[in-house]
Chains A and B, each alone.
Chain A
Amino acid sequence: MKLQHNLGGLEGLDPINVEKQVFVEPWEKRIFGIHTAMMALSNHLDTALPNYEIAKVPTQFKSFWTWGHLRKGAEAMHPFEYFRLRYYEKWLGGISGFFVEEGYITQEELDTRTAEFLEDSTKAAAPLPKGGKAGIDTQVDKYLREGDSPMRPAPAPPKFKVGDRVKVKNVHPGAHSRLPGQLRDREAVVVLVYEGAFTYFFPTEDGIGTPMPVYSLLFQPQDIWPESLTEPNSVYYNDIFEVYLEAA
């Protein structure tokens, strides 16, 4: 398990820096927008619940790209790199690398154009190209408004019910997980069984990706951390996929 899977509860960190802006540099807005467009144009949306006729959208983008891909990339990084880079720096690296790997652009094209902007301030300040087919932006808007719900019919009844005591399995996350590492081997109480079942964008090595129940679990901090490190009168809730759980 890597540190980025297991952040919760680290000791000895500095005070929080309360930066309230969403973007601290103007360039960060652009990579956020590119990522969101990629999610909105992803080829998997033909199986999403809204009726996306994604094959008919006039974009040259024909790949599968979701939050899961972005997270998988970040979580697969060496932790020293993960924490050296700022949030959107990781996005820029992962997304530009994806476009090169998938053959939409070459590394040389990207590097050459980047160098042009760095060397020539007039080019760097010039407007972006115009144009493109309007159907692309219609789909992007539809995706923003209709989303991509992971809820699916439940394939089987939930294994656990409200009030059950459960234990989080000690699963190994591989490149990407939705299980916070600090919960491995810890016990909790089921406080809510969510209606239906939830899928994930793609199968992960640790077992999510097919529709399954999800539970709201109530953890007592002293069941996770040494009591001397916890605070009185506080509790910790997590939403956990069934595959991560066994009876306590």
Chain B
Amino acid sequence: MPSNYPGFKYGADRETYSAAKVKALESLLIEKGIITGKTVDQILSYFETEMGPFNGAKLVAKAWVDSEFKQRLLADCNAACQELDFPAGMSGAEGEHMRIVENTPEVHNVIVCTLCSCYPWPTLGLPPYWFKDPTFRARVVREPRVVLKEFGVTLDDSVEVRVWDSSAQIRWWVLPMRPAGTEGMNEAQLADLLTPEAMMGVATVQV
């Protein structure tokens, strides 16, 4: 699907060349016995069906309805993830050491990786392009309120903004606030409200 992102309107020749080159590379790697004809599809399928933001959404929804679970999630994210009936892998690649921080009326958290694109794969999946974009990485650490406003989140000056930069081995993510008007919802309905952006701290949860 072509991107609508103006910054990515690179020449069609450039994209055509990259597409041909990566296909040439993958076909050579298969022929030479490095990977199989299924390897790449298997990896992509894993992130489409097993490890993605739908997992983070279930964890947040449970935390919203079960305050004791929420405390366990905040205290030891990986251990709390094991309590739910997820496929094996919730402490797998890029999720070995995860931590979650809670948004409250007083505190708003946002995550970034200024050096590259560190991200908690098991709970949030793969990072969206804006998270990897140097502009976001450069700006959010110094002017988070202005950046959040560009995402549509306007915070009162009384709210403390905490920016978490993944410089080492911890993969951070955000427990957003449960919105008003969701009192009658069950966990599955609540999980449907969550977006990756909400769990990175650049969106609030909308009903």
Contacts and interface: CB of A to CB of B under 8 A. Distances in A.
Interface of A: 4-5, 7-10, 13-22, 24-27, 29-34, 36-37, 39-41, 58-61, 71, 74, 83, 86-87, 89, 92, 95-96, 99, 104-105, 109-110, 113-118, 124, 128-134, 136-137, 140-141, 143-151, 177-180, 182, 194, 198, 214, 216, 221, 224-225, 229-241
B125 to A, nearest CB: 7
B161 A235 contact: yes
Contacts of A10: 138-139
B135 A19 contact: no
B43 A114 contact: no
B84 interface: no
B146 A96 contact: no
B164 A16 contact: no
B37 A130 contact: yes
The 6 closest A-B pairs by CB, nearest first: A132-B36, A33-B40, A24-B3, A145-B89, A239-B168, A113-B24
| Interface size of B as a range | 35 or more
Interface in B19-39: 19-39
A136 B129 CA distance: 29
Chain A contact residues, majority secondary structure: mixed
Contacts, number: 313
Contacts of B5: 17, 19, 24
B141 A149 contact: no
A131 B4 CA distance: 36
B25 A95 contact: yes
Contacts of B89: 144-146
Given A71-B116, A198-B168, A31 B157 contact: no
Contacts of A15: 135, 150
A236 B30 CA distance: 45
Contact of A179 (B16, B33, B167): B167
Contact of B170 (A9, A130, A194, A236): A194
Contacts of A58: 33
Interface string B41-63: 11110100001000000000000
Nearest to A179: B167
Contact of B18 (A20, A89, A115, A230): A89
Nearest to B170: A239
Contact of A234 (B126, B130, B158, B161): B161
B147 A16 contact: yes
Given A8-B114, A16-B150, A143-B92, 13 more contacts: A8-B142, A16-B136, A104-B34, A105-B25, A105-B28, A116-B24, A117-B19, A133-B36, A140-B42, A143-B93, A151-B169, A214-B168, A239-B168
Contacts of B17: 114, 118
A37 B40 contact: yes
Contacts of B151: 16, 18
8 contacts: A15-B150, A20-B128, A33-B43, A99-B29, A128-B27, A131-B36, A214-B169, A233-B159
Q: Which of A17, A143, A146 has the most CB of B within 10 A?
A: A17
B114 to A, nearest CB: 4
Contact of A132 (B37, B44, B196, B197): B37
B27 A113 contact: yes
A27 B165 contact: no
B22 A234 contact: no
A231 B144 contact: yes
Given A16-B151, A146-B92, A149-B96, A230 B142 contact: yes
Nearest to B21: A114
A194 B175 CA distance: 21
Given A114-B20, A129-B27, A214-B169, A25 B32 contact: no
B120 to A, nearest CB: 11
Given A30-B22, A86-B8, A118 B16 contact: yes
A121 to B, nearest CB: 10
